[in-house]
Amino acid sequence: MFLVDSLDLNENLANQFASKYSEKKDLFRTYMQSYSVSFPEIVDVKWRLDSCVKSDTSDVIREPKYYITLTLRHNQGSLSSLTFCCSLEGLQDLVHSLRHACKSVEKAAAFNL
């Protein structure tokens, strides 16, 4: 048992703790959810690619710019938009971060099963 092995509690005390936790688990979860930080859910993504070929200060730029709009749903059900611009490298970093986040969520979900 985790409580006995990791926290060096005696078995009787660990069993009492587990019993009390089981009794109050739903109340405890409700309480923690009311004080937890929640992030909006991404429900839609729109993007476009613009290419800047020339500017006032330079003759040739040829730099792609990605304009991304995320539609977010908040806990109350309201929607908002987050729009930003990034370079190819920034977009690659974003995709990498999102893939890492998805893998982390999958691991956490598998752990909770």
62 pLDDT more than 80: no
113 pLDDT more than 60: no
Range picked from 3-17, 27-41, 70-84 for highest mean pLDDT: 70-84
Average pLDDT over all residues of the chain: 84
pLDDT (mean) for 89-111: 91
Cα(113)–Cα(109) distance, integer angstroms: 6
Residue 26 or 2, more confident: 26
Model pTM above 0.75: no
Phi-psi region of 67 (alpha: psi -120 to 50; beta: other; left: phi over 0): beta
- CA 15 to chain CA centroid, Å, is 35
Work out the pLDDT band at 89, boundaries 50, 70, 90. very high
Of the candidate ranges 9-13, 41-45, 65-69, the one whose mean pLDDT is the lowest = 9-13
